Every structure is written in structure tokens, then in C-alpha cells.
Structure 1
Amino acid sequence: MVRLPLTPAEVERGQRLGALLRRARGERSMLETALDARVSPETLRKIETGRVATPAFSTIAAIAEVLDLSLDAVWAEINPERGVEQTSPGHHTRKPLAS
């Protein structure tokens, strides 16, 4: 399988995701977080450093659950250009808080 190069937007989104996970992890160790999420510490390290800019949804869902992050909050944080948008009748994603 040939993997296409990432676009600049995908690289930037991966960097925002990594920064969000590092902030959410706080003082908790990377090893503890990875093991609780049932992902390898190397995978978590690569995501947090932006080396894996497009991780699998299930991986992000597992890490977000361990860090008590909603997937809506993760989506809003890594896609700030979308801001608050209506995704379906009566459902809105939240715009990320300023950091």
C-alpha cells in the first residue's frame, strides 16, 4: 500500500491533537496513559509529538476516554477553523476554549 504524503493541514491538525493530549495528560505518565488506553507507549509518543498525524479513530477514542476528553471536544480542538457548526438537527459541536 502506497501512503500519500500528508497535506500541511493534516500535519497541523496532528500537531494540535498531540498538544491537546499532552495538556490533558498533565502530570500523568505517558506509560500509564498508554497502558490504560491499551495502546503502546510508542504509539502515544508518536501521536503526542505529531509524528502520527492521522491516527486511527479507535486509538484516539481510547486515549480520549482515559483522559476524560469528549470526542466532540477533541474534534473542535483539532479543527478550529470549523468553529461551532451544526452537525445534525439539534446537535452542535462546541468551539474550543481559548488557551
Structure 2
Amino acid sequence: MGYNVNAARAQRLEATGERWEFELDGETFALPTELSRTTVRELAGLDPSDLDGLLAAMLGPEQFQRFATHHTSVQDIQALLEAYGKDTGMALGEESASTRS
């Protein structure tokens, strides 16, 4: 039998969960532990300094709208993305999203 994509995906999601949650000012937000090809294309098209674009693509419209009401610094977002990368194995680089090898 060949490689089973669905079984491999299920195994990855079992190990990491489908969502990576974080808290900000008492509110909980969630990022996906795996990115769709559509999201990666959207991220790749962003200017590297477009933090709002990155967060909107990752959080989705409803969560981003809630997130945007909070005061966050560039350092807050950098620390958040570093923790996300460490926990999920996903590195969000300056040009695009990719997974670490």
C-alpha cells in the first residue's frame, strides 16, 4: 500500500491538535496548526512588514476583528509567532510561511 495522506494528516493533528490557542487580555484566540495552500498563497503575497495582513490571514476575519481591539506591540506579535513556531513546527518567515525541516 502507498502513502496515505489522510492517515498521515490524522496522525499529525492528533499530535498537535487542530488549533494552537493563545490568550490576550483574558480573551482566547486560536491559530491553525496546519496551513492550507490558500492561506500560504495569501501570506506569500503580503509585504513582509504587513503584520495586520499576516494576522488577518491566520486568525480569520472574526478573530482578527477581536484581536485588533487590543493594544499589541510588534514585540508582542513577534513573541507570539515565535511561540507558535516552536509549538507547531511552523516558521512564518519574512517572505512566506513554511515548515521547518
- The answer to which structure has the higher strand fraction is 2
If the length of structure 2 is used for normalisation, what is the TM-score? 0.30
- The answer to which structure has the higher helix fraction is 1
If the length of structure 1 is used for normalisation, what is the TM-score? 0.31
